[in-house]
Amino acid sequence: MKPSSNEPIPFAPALTVEDDERMRILVVGAGAVGGYFGGRLAQAGRDVTFLVHAKRAEEIRASGLQIISAHGDATIHPKLVTASDLRPPYDIVFLSVKNYALTSAINDFAPAVGPSTVILPALNGIRHMDLLEQRFGKRALLGGVCLVATQLDASGRIVQLADFQSLAYGELDGNQTTRLEDVDRAFRGAGFDASVSFHILQDMWQKWVQLASLGAITCLLRGNIGEIVAIPGGADLSLSALRECAAVAAACGYPPSPKFLEEKEAEFTAAGSPLTSSMYRDLARNAPVEVDSILGDLLARGHKLGISTPILQAAFVNLSIYQRARKY
């Protein structure tokens, strides 16, 4: 019988040295998210290798993989590999690149995938699952949801912006499997909250609703939640964006729970809140944004099902103009 919550499952005892030697983990990229979770795994003694580009490899070899966090600063000197040197299969591939870098990342890490390799993606949205399935087959995939607020500073250090740091993973069909036990053993007890989910697709959709609605409203109005709700009508716009995205998810068969919506309504209308989205932070520093995967894909699914999403549409057009302008 499946456990009913996301609490760590009882069949996963503390990792032993023998277990660690068997589970070889490849972390694709050493950016804000992959670098944080992979760094904590390496710090905890797991067998972690980072697949990085040559420039990032030089930075890490020179200064270490540096984490600045309220949970403890760390400088780690992990194993590194570039795509041209990647050879043997790994047990777990942890993938957390930006969606616009996914195609390139897939080509880079493909040699690491063997018949028994588990690919654990923690990207935003859902479309990446289709691309990964096309290349590696559905059997290779787990679903994943990470919640962490991190960014790279000018020195390449990973800076944690808030104290939450969780990673959930699960089989797409909701089943309990031996390989899920193995992944749980590898990730639990590594300095962040890790747990098995038996409804991972629902979790992924709820995160998508949160990211899309928060990203749409903060990027469209160019402000944090506190700044938006301080203006007459701002709170109503925040709630409208949330309801649009929730309506698309519901039409696609993944309605957000009432508790989730209640929590997000409170967060999106909180006076004085500094809350923003990762997409807004990328926009503010003139970096690429995940407009197609976070907003565009959700918008397209909603249009196909006849869901009206004017705020989502406006945000998508706005950010698409910005994204195209960056290329010239």
Average pLDDT over residues 121-136: 96
| Token reading at 188 | 């639990």
pTM of the model: 0.89
- Closest-CA residue to 151 (of 140, 164, 162): 162
CB atoms within 10 A of CB 249: 22
Q: Which residues of 118-151 are buried (b: 16+ CB within 10 A; e: fewer)?
A: bbbbbbbbbbbbeebeeebeeebbbbbbbbbbbb
Task: Give how far Cα 224 sits from Cα of 179, 231, 235, 273, 278, Å.
Answer: 41, 12, 12, 7, 11
How does pLDDT run across 281-311, given as a tens digit for each residue?
999 999 999 999 999 999 999 999 999 999 9
Round the average pLDDT of the chain to a whole number and report it.
Answer: 92
Q: Taking phi first (over 0 means left), then psi (-120 to 50 degrees means alpha), and beta for anything else, what does residue 137 get? A: left
* Six token digits for residue 223: 């402000």
Q: Which residues are catalytic?
A: 207
Taking only the tens place, the pLDDT of each residue in 39-56 is: 999 999 999 999 999 999
